[in-house]
A and B are shown apart, each in its own frame.
Chain A
Amino acid sequence: MMDEFGSESDSDYTSYWRDWFISSRGNEYFCEIDEDYLTDRFNLTGLNTEVQYYQYALDLITDVFDLDCDDDMRETIEKSARHLYGLIHARYIVTTRGLAKMLDKYKKADFGKCPRVFCHSHPLLPMGQTDVANQKPVKLYCARCEDVYNPKSSRHAAIDGAYFGTSFHNIMFQVYPALLPPKTAERYVPRVYGFRVHAAAALVRWQSVRRTDMLRRLRKMEVESGFKNENGEDEEIDDEEDDDDEDLLEGEPVDLDHDVAIEGGNVNPVA
């Protein structure tokens, strides 16, 4: 990470446009693409047909734009440059250097934190739901619950998801497996006066069976499950005992801590 610092200051004098771009409000999800990457034509293969005034746009991004033109034209080229930057960004962030830069931002939680209570503010990564431009806005991926969330801010919600792509966030964890957060069975169980609500509890039980099956499969294949407590599912067996009555509310309204234990997770983060 140290050398990133170095390279950034090296390229200071050439990164005027990129500096401006990544520091603009709403562009917090983008990292700065290296000069080297931008000047290697190979990396840009095929993008010339995606963007209007491709060459001018690229010149603008690399701070060599010197066309004398009117404001409308300038604005059009500016718009193209932003789009081109996004498209290159999607490719850049899956390179070693790009991943490292995004990792830095991830560690600082520049992409926000998972809103799910039981993810305990785990940092998010930006992702696209498609690699095709102009289709779907950017979403945020939480590696802890492995789910996808909408950005809180409308500024971010308007960014094209293709600027991050469908693979980046998954590659990140393949390349840096140590980043994988521990998984837990901790979850919310709806209750009424301490009783689990039957409809939800039945689903929770069904899901727990799915989880148990998965953990069994992984054990068989000797693959690390990533769960903090490999035996976590065993604790839940108590829970399954006397559910054969069909009340809407079930179980006993027991003490919270105990209650929580039988659902295999700590429902109350404070306890």
Chain B
Amino acid sequence: MDTTEALPQDQRATVAGRSWSRGDGTCSATGHHHRRTSTAQRNCEGEGEGSARAPDSPTPNLTQRDETGTNRAARRRITPAKERDRNAGAQGTAHRLPLAPHASSAPSSAASRHADAINGLPSLSPPIALRRRGTFRPPPKPHAMSTSSGTPESWISSFCSLLGHEYFAEVSEEFIEDDFNLTGLQSQVAMYKEALEMILDVEPEDDDEEDEEEEEEEDESIEGVDRMRAGERRNHSRIASDLSVIESSAEMLYGLIHQRFICSRAGIQQMSEKYELGHFGVCPRSHCEQARTLPVGLSDIPGEDTVKLFCPACLDVYVPPNSRFQTVDGAFFGRTFGALFLLTFPEYDLTKRGAEVLAGARVSEDAKDMLNGMYACNTAPGLGGNKIYRPRIYGFRVSEVARSGPRMQWLRDKPQDISELDEARRYAEENPDSEDDDDASMNPGGRPIRRLRPRRRNGQGGSPMAVETNGAESEL
């Protein structure tokens, strides 16, 4: 279990701090670092086992990549995998090279840091270097890499596999490459362009040998990453302090993109898979009986609060049990995701627990009464009746009149007859003359709402996009 929980508070803070800095250090895990120091690296070829064929060494025939099929201009990637593609191209064979360059990840960065120092470039400050060493995942074994079809980890997947980052979905490159999805983020993140490149494992173009090709690329690239890059692309001698800024900017940017991604169709789908697999943990409240929770933020603005867990059974939010999550920014999940998830996947039976969720428990056909746009059985199943704590002393209930009597039961209460919550119907009943607007009711999926008792349902789950549109429009 949580190894840190038994620690006294102050020590715990240290541990948390450490895991945060671990996070800080990671960004360079996959190669941005190589690229930065490419000149230096060339100078130190042969020094580290990995630098014999540094990813940045110019290759005669660089292949352009336009893998998403969008009109995004070719981007060259520096992840070892992409590098391999390039090398493969150079050799005119599809066969994967065995791996000097790629096995290099950790060692060669150490080597390049070393080279930095040799060349009189500022080397990484010790804390960063240390952190980085700590965060490096062990470089994949050459053998494993050559046998598995094996793409080494991208920045995104290595970010998501860090300790404490278990709640994150892997944002698809497609999503990131659509400028529309990044609207407004540029002003929120320092060194935006570089951070974005780091996230996408894109190599800033910087070698003279590549100029010709770059010019071609430039012609085609009229938007997005490439356009923004145009100004500084030859200025590749970033100093080390920049790198650490870029690293933390990349995390911030990824987090902000993530906030949006998990509210998109693809993102929320990915989160539902994680939900089913139990990645988000369970509600600590005893009466919720291990109901699965969802990661949420209490603010959409970064730096305000850490990630929390929203329990659909009691509609409350909790601090994640493990202190490693207490360094993850809540804005990276945002205020919308939790509730949107429930609207998007109304078919999840929230009364089911554990393995049943894994089995994909859905609301059964005979429990499909609708209430306020949700299945009635899914309305806070952890609340009400015997799921409220009622204090007793030697078997006697503590009275409300007592100074120490119960004051908070309303928070865990729910009407015995859940249809009491159908305010519109009640209103209609109490005001028989008023217009009956039942038929006008639509949920975001465009599906007519079935009243708690009358009518049979039709249609499947609501569409997440519909909700999104609804919300977004009203917000404008």
Q: Are B421 and A203 in contact (CB under 8 A)?
A: yes
Q: Are B316 and A268 in contact (CB under 8 A)?
A: no
Chain B CB within 8 A of A256 CB: yes
A74: chain B residues within 8 A (beta carbon):
none
Which stretch (B17-25, B116-124, B147-155, B402-410) binds chain A?
A: B402-410
Q: Are B406 and A146 in contact (CB under 8 A)?
A: yes
Chain A CB within 8 A of B393 CB: yes
Chain B CB within 8 A of A170 CB: yes
CA distance in complex: A174, B308 (Å): 33
B391: chain A residues within 8 A (beta carbon):
146, 170
Q: Are A249 and B471 in contact (CB under 8 A)?
A: yes
Which stretch (B51-59, B174-182, B437-445) binds chain A?
A: B437-445
Q: A154-B1, A244-B424 are in contact. Are A148 and B286 (CB under 8 A)?
A: yes
A115: chain B residues within 8 A (beta carbon):
284, 318-319, 321
| Chain B residue at minimum C-beta to C-beta distance from A25 | B6
Chain A CB within 8 A of B270 CB: no
A116: chain B residues within 8 A (beta carbon):
285, 316-319
- Most chain B beta carbons < 10 A, residue from A155, A193, A200: A193
| Chain A residue at minimum C-beta to C-beta distance from B298 | A268
A148-161 contact mask (Cβ, 8 Å, vs B): 1 or 0: 11101111000000
Chain B CB within 8 A of A243 CB: yes
Which stretch (A60-68, A77-85, A180-188) binds chain B?
A: A180-188
| Chain B residue at minimum C-beta to C-beta distance from A200 | B315
Q: Are A253 and B374 in contact (CB under 8 A)?
A: no
Q: Are A193 and B404 in contact (CB under 8 A)?
A: no
By size class, the interface of chain A is 35 or more
| Chain A residue at minimum C-beta to C-beta distance from B418 | A203
Q: A193-B471, A243-B423 are in contact. Are A202 and B372 (CB under 8 A)?
A: yes
Partner of A150, one of B284, B304, B468, B470: B284
A216-235 contact mask (Cβ, 8 Å, vs B): 1 or 0: 01100101111100000000
B394: chain A residues within 8 A (beta carbon):
167
CA distance in complex: A170, B315 (Å): 26
CA distance in complex: A211, B410 (Å): 6
Q: Are A192 and B380 in contact (CB under 8 A)?
A: no
Chain A CB within 8 A of B99 CB: no
- Most chain B beta carbons < 10 A, residue from A171, A207, A218, A267: A207
Chain B CB within 8 A of A16 CB: no
Q: Are A226 and B286 in contact (CB under 8 A)?
A: no
Q: Name B's interface SS.
A: loop
Q: Are A190 and B310 in contact (CB under 8 A)?
A: yes
Distance of A193 from chain B, by nearest CB (Å): 3
B468: chain A residues within 8 A (beta carbon):
193
Partner of A199, one of B9, B336, B372, B383: B372
Q: Are B304 and A206 in contact (CB under 8 A)?
A: no
Residues of chain B from 370 to 394 with CB closer than 8 A to chain A in the complex:
371-374, 379-380, 383, 389, 391-394
CA distance in complex: A56, B173 (Å): 69
Q: A244-B424, A249-B474, A268-B298 are in contact. Are A117 and B319 (CB under 8 A)?
A: yes
B3-16 contact mask (Cβ, 8 Å, vs A): 1 or 0: 00110010000000
Q: Are B379 and A270 in contact (CB under 8 A)?
A: no
Q: Are A152 and B316 in contact (CB under 8 A)?
A: no
Distance of B134 from chain A, by nearest CB (Å): 26
Q: Are A206 and B420 in contact (CB under 8 A)?
A: yes
Chain A CB within 8 A of B412 CB: yes
Distance of A270 from chain B, by nearest CB (Å): 5
Q: Are B424 and A190 in contact (CB under 8 A)?
A: no
A5-41 contact mask (Cβ, 8 Å, vs B): 1 or 0: 0000000000000000000010010000000000000
A211: chain B residues within 8 A (beta carbon):
410-411
CA distance in complex: A226, B373 (Å): 36
Distance of B430 from chain A, by nearest CB (Å): 11
Q: A197-B342, A218-B400 are in contact. Are A145 and B305 (CB under 8 A)?
A: no
- Most chain A beta carbons < 10 A, residue from B310, B319, B402, B468: B319
CA distance in complex: A41, B49 (Å): 76
Chain A CB within 8 A of B157 CB: no
B419-437 contact mask (Cβ, 8 Å, vs A): 1 or 0: 0111110010000000001
Chain B CB within 8 A of A191 CB: yes
Distance of A161 from chain B, by nearest CB (Å): 11
Distance of B184 from chain A, by nearest CB (Å): 15
- Measured CB to CB, the residues of A under 8 A from B are 25, 28, 109, 112, 115-118, 121, 139, 141, 144-150, 152-155, 166-167, 170-171, 173-174, 177, 180, 183, 187-188, 190-195, 197-200, 202-208, 210-211, 214, 217-218, 221, 223-227, 243-246, 248-249, 253, 256, 267-270
- Measured CB to CB, the residues of B under 8 A from A are 1-2, 5-6, 9, 284-287, 298-299, 304-305, 308, 310, 315-319, 321, 335-336, 338-340, 342-343, 371-374, 379-380, 383, 389, 391-395, 398, 400-415, 420-424, 427, 437, 440-441, 443-444, 449, 467-468, 470-472, 474-475
Beyond A115-B284, A253-B475, 14 additional pairs, beta carbon < 8 A: A118-B316, A146-B406, A146-B407, A147-B412, A148-B285, A193-B474, A193-B475, A194-B471, A198-B373, A199-B371, A206-B414, A211-B411, A221-B401, A270-B298
What are the nearest 7 A-B pairs in CB distance?
A193-B471, A190-B339, A210-B410, A199-B372, A248-B373, A173-B404, A146-B408
